[in-house]
């Protein structure tokens, strides 16, 4: 499907004029994207003044009216790209976690949840020397909805397939645990590993996104079979409690343990985690 915006096209906003200079990503469903953009603008108008950890809305495009467009603050990169390029240190991971949790806490105070927590939705500016990321901001707020919205009540899948938590993938958790599902323990582990390793990415096993088995649809009929298969694989070769001091300090390991609890209802909230960082 052709992009509704063209390279070199001029966009007139309420505050300034802009030019399209590069296509970063082509969406499969333009209609869904437009709805998310409208929701993102609404959410940011409400929250960006309350926390510096949201990527701000800079402008809204008036011409052309179709497709609906917004302008967000420019940041140098995203966390997934930077983690793939160079593994984050533990202090850098804690800095990222604190910024992301501050944004989530602001949403939670109003009964809102973020249903699209991914590393490439956390944006950063690049620094120098001992300050790698002087700015870290939570993005893609088109996925922010009220805790008891239709999206959460009807058990829609959240996030991209290989960043989705297992309990969300298997529909094992009630809506009330969405506050805790957002924290996405595997994202922290991905940052710890670095080097482009994403724990649930089928590409780890050589399966590309154009193959049918890349994304398996899980239904009520096949969920129990999948769970049984996972159990049959046995424990990981190195359980987390055996991770040594040279890999992660005991105090930091305990932090990871807290968010890795199997039942998301046992995991700490964003508010509680902020006190332990």
Q: Alpha-carbon distance 242 to 214, whole Å? A: 31
Span 80-118, pLDDT tens digits: 899 888 888 888 988 998 998 899 889 989 988 887 778
Cα dist from 18 to 13, 14, 41, 67, 142, whole Å: 8, 11, 18, 15, 22
**Cβ neighbours, 10 Å, residue 85:** 11
CATH architecture, domain 77-276: Orthogonal Bundle (1.10)
Higher model confidence: residue 50 or residue 218?
50
- Euclidean distance between CA atoms 79 and 73, whole angstroms: 16
Distance of CA 99 to the CA centre of its chain: 13
Q: How confident is the model at residue 12 (pLDDT cuts 50, 70, 90)?
A: very high
What's the pLDDT at 177?
Answer: 40
pTM of the model: 0.79
Q: Is the pLDDT of residue 14 over 90?
A: yes
Task: Domain ranges for the chain, please list them.
Answer: 10-72, 77-276
Are the C-beta atoms of 100 and 122 separated by less than 8 Å?
yes
* pLDDT over 60 at 178, yes or no: no
Residue 249: CB atoms within 10 A of its CB come to 11
If 0-12 CB within 10 Å is exposed, 13-18 middle and 19+ buried, where does residue 214 land? middle
Q: Is the pLDDT of residue 176 over 50?
A: no
CA angle in degrees (0–180, nearest 5) for 113-116-119: 125
The answer to whether 258 touches 268, Cβ cutoff 8 Å, is yes
CA distance 219 to 226: 10
pLDDT in tens, 209-231: 777 766 666 666 777 787 788 77
């Amino acid at each position: 499907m052709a992009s509704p915006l063209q390279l070199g096209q001029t966009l007139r906003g309420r505050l300034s004029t802009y030019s399209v200079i590069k296509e970063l990503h082509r969406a499969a469903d333009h209609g869904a994207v437009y709805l998310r953009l409208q929701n993102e603008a609404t959410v940011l108008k409400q929250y960006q003044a309350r926390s510096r950890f949201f990527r701000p809305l800079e402008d809204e495009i008036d011409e052309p009216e179709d497709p609906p467009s917004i302008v967000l603050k420019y940041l140098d990169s995203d966390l997934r790209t930077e983690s793939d390029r160079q593994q984050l240190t533990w202090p850098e991971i804690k800095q990222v976690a604190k910024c992301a949790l501050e944004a989530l806490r602001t949403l939670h105070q109003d009964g809102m949840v973020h249903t699209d927590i991914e590393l490439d939705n956390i944006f950063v500016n690049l620094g120098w020397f001992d300050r790698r990321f002087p700015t870290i901001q939570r993005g893609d707020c088109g996925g922010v909805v009220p805790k008891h919205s239709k999206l959460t009540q009807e058990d829609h899948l959240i996030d991209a397939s290989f960043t989705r938590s297992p309990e969300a993938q298997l529909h094992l958790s009630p809506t009330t645990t969405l506050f805790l599902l957002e924290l996405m323990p595997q994202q922290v582990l991905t940052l710890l590993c670095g080097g482009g390793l994403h724990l649930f990415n089928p590409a780890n096993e050589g399966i590309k996104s154009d193959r049918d088995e890349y994304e398996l649809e899980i239904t009520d009929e096949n969920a129990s079979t999948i769970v049984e298969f996972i159990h049959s694989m046995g424990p990981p070769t190195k359980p987390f409690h055996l991770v040594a001091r040279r890999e992660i300090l005991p105090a930091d390991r305990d932090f990871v343990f807290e968010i890795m609890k199997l039942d998301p209802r046992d995991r700490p909230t964003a508010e509680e985690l902020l006190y332990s960082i």
